Amino acid sequence: MEGGGQRLAPVAPPGQPQGEHLRLLLRRSQEAKNCAYCPYSRFPVGAALLTAGGEIFSGCNVENACYSLGMCAERAAIQKAISEGHTSFRAMAITSDMRDHFITPCGACRQVMREFGTDWDVYLTKADGTYIVKRLEELLPLSFGPEDLKKV
């Protein structure tokens, strides 16, 4: 389909993705990891973001010789989805090469994810695809978000 998003058929029902939908989300994060540009850290990361409409946008980390300009996989996926008009998200899967540890998003990525709500799920995986699931609220408790700007 146009725009790089892959639509699942049938559209995944609301709530946590199940079965084939979840497997596809996990696989897309692994595929995205294979595209990581990380010559400095040699730490490839892939992310796959499931929109409310059932599309998946993936991202990988993209590093730079000017180190501070590097971009994380999670934010790359979010930027792609937002750029294609999607602002409502249900889940994200994140993958790295760590075999014995679940990948966890950095603080900057948690804040960027939180911009789009606190009640969606993040699948933190090991290299073999096993995972734990955390709500945004758990990953970034007591967070500051767009709603707070309206409280003054």
Write out the residues near ligand THU by the rule CB under 6 A.
Answer: 38, 41, 43, 45, 61, 63, 70, 72-74, 94, 103, 105-106
Tokens for 77, please give them. Answer: 């996926």
Nearest-approach distance from CB 3 to ligand THU, in angstroms: 22
Question: How far is Cα 33 from Cα 57, in angstroms, rounded to an integer?
Answer: 13
Verify whether residue 115 is a known catalytic residue: no
Taken in order 111, 113, 116, 122, is the CA torsion positive or negative? Answer: negative
CB of residue 85 vs ligand THU: minimum separation in angstroms?
A: 24
Among residues 54 and 105, whose Cβ is nearest to ligand THU?
105
Catalytic residue among 31, 55, 74, 137: 74
Residues β-bridged to residue 56: 6, 50
CB 54 within 8 A of CB 90: no
Min separation Cβ 147 and ligand THU, Å: 25
For ligand THU, the closer of residues 40 and 144 by Cβ is 40
Q: Rank residues 1 and 69 by Cβ distance to ligand THU and give the closer one.
A: 69
Residue 108 tokens, joined? 């900057």
CA separation for the pair 139, 2 (Å, rounded): 32
| Catalytic (active-site) positions | 74
